[in-house]
Chain A
Amino acid sequence: MSGKGGSGKTTISGTLARLIGRSGKRVLAVDADSNPNLALTLGLSTGSYDLINPLPHGLMEHRRVNGEVQVSLSRPVEELTQDYAVDCPDNVSLLVLGPPGGAGTG
């Protein structure tokens, strides 16, 4: 989901994720905005915000395979969703990416 600031990306993303979830699909909503706000639209109560544990930086590792640099997650993705994703209503779980601040990893 992309678009200009204020265009309604978050409202549409969150509502869409829940309605897809209600159709019977299991949905992971990823909040990749540096000012994360998706939780509210997803119906997570403000009291549960403390449960949100943003995905830390530095999860990408560079490996050299046959002379070529490959970049991949340093931990299995299932483990990350298990540790960091928060259950929301309607078959949706939410993963929030930590705000930027660290040095770029390429």
Chain B
Amino acid sequence: MCSSHATVRGLLHELPTGDLDVVVVDNEASPEHLSRSTTEAVDVMLVVAEPYFKSLETARRYAGLGKDLGIANVVVVANKVRGEDDLSAIQGFCDSHDLKLLGAVPFDETLAQAERSGVPPLEHDPGAPSVRAVEGLVEHILRLVAA
């Protein structure tokens, strides 16, 4: 385990402090960040999956690891969903692997525009479909954190 993973582990064990309600960790795209001592302090693991095979397989592996490590809430968030076919493919994959799909974020051209201009999605277009979809996740996630 590299030392930044060890630091995340230490932080998560000692956070949140009295001043904080929620800690969001944006992880490395490798499963190395997952170990039992890190995940003990995690309420919810969100696994982002795109509707194509390699991404879903990766999501399945990460979610399996998270569950094996004892995280109570391991959920999938579908991203870059281009329509009903994409959504049903992800839903089918989740169903057949006993994964909970928490929500879906649509493919959103405004996000690509935001990226190109180096502006955060929330400043670029707060009403964008993708932003609205993430907004829809907040309540679900806070409910899982509180439980």
Contact = CB atoms under 8 A, between A and B. Distances in A.
Most buried by A among B1, B24, B37, B137: B24
Contacts of B80: 7-8
B47 interface: yes
Interface in A1-54: 1-20, 23, 25-34, 38, 40-43, 46
28 contacts: A1-B46, A2-B45, A2-B66, A3-B55, A3-B58, A7-B79, A9-B27, A11-B121, A15-B122, A16-B134, A16-B137, A17-B24, A19-B134, A20-B22, A20-B141, A28-B16, A28-B23, A30-B8, A32-B4, A32-B26, A40-B118, A41-B121, A57-B7, A60-B10, A71-B9, A99-B4, A105-B1, A106-B1
Interface of B: 1-11, 13-17, 19-29, 31, 33-34, 37, 45-50, 54-55, 58-59, 62, 66, 77, 79-80, 105, 111, 118, 120-123, 130-131, 134-135, 137-138, 141-142
Given A59-B10, A72-B10, A77-B11, A23 B138 contact: yes
Q: Which 7 interchain pairs have the tightest Cβ spacing?
A: A3-B48, A5-B29, A25-B21, A77-B14, A13-B26, A4-B58, A73-B10
Nearest to B123: A43
Nearest to A46: B118
B47 to A, nearest CB: 5
Nearest to A5: B29
Contacts, number: 202
Nearest to B34: A2
B137 A14 contact: no
B6 A12 contact: no
Q: How large is the interface on A (under 10, 10 to 19, 20 to 34, 35 or more residues)?
A: 35 or more
B8 A97 contact: yes
A102 interface: yes
Contact of B10 (A12, A20, A71): A71
B24 A28 contact: yes
B28 A104 contact: no
Given A1-B48, A16-B137, A57-B3, A27 B8 contact: no
A8 B21 contact: no
A51 to B, nearest CB: 17
A38 B142 contact: no
A12 B135 contact: no
B120 A4 contact: no
Given A15-B131, A72-B10, A4 B21 contact: no
